């Protein structure tokens, strides 16, 4: 890693060329992704008259590649040069999107799913490469602040993204939306060209197979106490979020007795909370360790879920949604920073490729049964179960906290 200054001010962060370039790239990518998500959703609903199966296939096209390609993409991210990988992934995403546009003009609208599948697959190679660039080029003391800014961009687009995607589709149609997607990916690739040149990988004897490197990555996670505990924490957090996310609509219709359209109020409160939370973490990143951020975020989420499951007052529910959103960046930023701090640069891609499916897999499992178990239990009980899962996640991380305290006492 490049030696950095001891300063941890926002100015020092922006002076780091890698951080500024990656954040600008993420900005363009978020525009492309949210236009893609909502334009495709609205287009499919229009073409199928709201067919539930067709709409659900959009989620399959978006999330299935995470399970199928995450560890593979992470392994290749460790093999390949990160800058080159990210540029090519964005460029190929743009090309695939323009190919879909040609297909829409001359063929079937169903080719629209192809754009989502291809860009989702390529992101499994690009995202761990971005994490690797952080590890290689960002000083240790700036990583947490950089992750805070990274997360804040995602939070902003949770609010602006659906609005931008919907407006573009409703005013200009699917063809213009696809052109904007492609341009956004090309702009991201163009920005990444200004990154520092990738170092030439060291030759480490004879080449190993992909399967051997994937196995080495798995053994690395298992053998690294911090990462293995973090993996367990990831899984229970995924279970908790998977239970509650599909049931949030019922907080509006059953608990509050409001029309389903008022769900947007809860989502807006959550999104605003995430934006404020991302900025807040940026401000306290010099004083609070990533492990404490993670545990604070999970504790606040657990308390918030108990309140949400029992509240029948709109303003209490909105305030709690805001607080849950406020502490959600604590979880994301804490985990990403812990991963980078606990992982050798040679394994960053594979570690991401292993831990991400743990969270996503757990979330999908409980999302798939949430409707069924709602028939057996009340909303209050289900949200309280999610809160207990967050407590379990905190308990899992306690040994790591004790280890950190013991190491600090030695110093």
Residue with tokens 């949200």: 383
Please give the residue that has the higher pLDDT: either 333 or 106.
333
Candidates 1.10.1040.10, 3.40.50.2000, 1.20.1250.20, 3.40.50.720; correct CATH number of 210-410?
A: 1.20.1250.20
Residue 306, pLDDT score: 95
User: Does position 318 have pLDDT exceeding 90, yes or no?
Assistant: yes
pLDDT value for 303: 95
> Where is average pLDDT lowest: 30-39, 53-62, 154-163, 190-199?
53-62
E strands of 104-218, at which residues?
Answer: none
Decide if 71 contacts 350 (C-beta within 8 A).
yes
Q: Average pLDDT in the 183-207 region?
A: 75
pLDDT band at 7 (very low <50, low <70, confident <90, very high): very low
Q: Give residue 139's pLDDT band: very low, low, confident or very high (50, 70, 90).
A: confident
- Considering the chain, tell me which residue range(s) the CATH 1.20.1250.20 domain(s) occupy: 10-192, 210-410
Q: What is the mean pLDDT of residues 345-365?
A: 80
Mean pLDDT of 1-6: 38
pLDDT at 307 over 90: yes
CB 286 within 8 A of CB 6: no
Average pLDDT score over residue span 151-171: 81
Q: Per residue in 236-262, pLDDT tens?
A: 988 998 888 878 878 888 888 888 767
CATH number for the domain running over 10-192: 1.20.1250.20
Q: Which two tokens stand for residue 170?
A: 């409703």
Number of Cβ within 10 Å of residue 212's Cβ equals 11
- Give the Å distances, CA to CA, from 357 to 180, 331, 395: 30, 17, 21
Q: Quick one: pLDDT band at residue 386, thresholds 50, 70, 90?
A: very high
Highest mean pLDDT among 126-130, 190-194, 398-402: 190-194
Q: 289 and 228 in contact (C-beta within 8 Å)?
A: no
Neighbours of 391 (CB within 10 A): 15
């Amino acid at each position: 890693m490049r030696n950095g200054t001891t300063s941890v001010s926002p100015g020092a962060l922006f002076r780091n060329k890698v951080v500024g370039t990656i954040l600008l790239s993420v900005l363009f990518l978020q525009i492309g992704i949210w236009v893609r998500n909502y334009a495709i959703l609205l287009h499919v609903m229009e073409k199928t008259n709201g067919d539930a199966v067709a709409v659900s296939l959009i989620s399959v096209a978006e999330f299935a590649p995470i399970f199928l390609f995450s560890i593979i993409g992470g392994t290749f991210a460790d093999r390949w040069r990160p800058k080159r990988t990210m540029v090519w992934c964005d460029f190929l995403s743009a090309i695939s999107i323009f190919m879909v546009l040609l297909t829409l003009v001359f063929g079937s609208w169903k080719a629209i799913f192809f754009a989502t599948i291809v860009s989702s697959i390529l992101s499994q190679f690009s995202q761990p490469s971005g994490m690797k660039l952080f590890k290689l080029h960002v000083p240790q003391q700036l990583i947490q602040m950089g992750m805070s800014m990274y997360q804040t961009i995602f939070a902003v687009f949770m609010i602006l993204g659906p609005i931008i995607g919907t407006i573009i589709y409703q005013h200009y149609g699917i063809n213009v939306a696809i052109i904007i997607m492609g341009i956004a990916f090309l702009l991201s690739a163009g920005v990444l060209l200004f990154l520092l040149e990738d170092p030439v990988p060291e030759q480490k004897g004879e080449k190993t197979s992909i399967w051997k490197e994937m196995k080495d990555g798995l053994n690395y996670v298992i053998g690294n106490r911090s990462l293995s505990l973090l993996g367990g924490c990831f899984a229970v957090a995924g279970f908790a979020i998977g239970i509650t996310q599909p049931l949030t609509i019922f907080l509006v219709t059953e608990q509050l007795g409001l029309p389903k359209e008022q769900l947007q109020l809860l989502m807006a409160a959550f999104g605003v909370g995430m934006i404020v939370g991302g900025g807040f973490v940026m401000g306290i990143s010099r004083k609070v360790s990533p492990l404490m951020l993670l545990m604070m975020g999970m504790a606040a989420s657990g308390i918030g879920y108990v309140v949400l499951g029992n509240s029948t007052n709109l303003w209490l529910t909105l305030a709690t949604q805001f607080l849950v959103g406020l502490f959600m960046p604590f979880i994301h930023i804490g985990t990403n920073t812990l991963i980078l701090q606990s992982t050798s640069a040679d394994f960053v891609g594979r570690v991401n490729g292993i831990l991400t499916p743990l969270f996503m897999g757990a979330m999908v499992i409980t999302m798939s049964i949430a409707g069924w178990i709602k028939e057996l239990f009340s909303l209050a009980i289900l949200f309280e179960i999610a809160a207990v899962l967050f407590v379990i996640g905190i308990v899992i991380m306690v040994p790591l906290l004790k280890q950190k305290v013991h190491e600090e006492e030695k110093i």
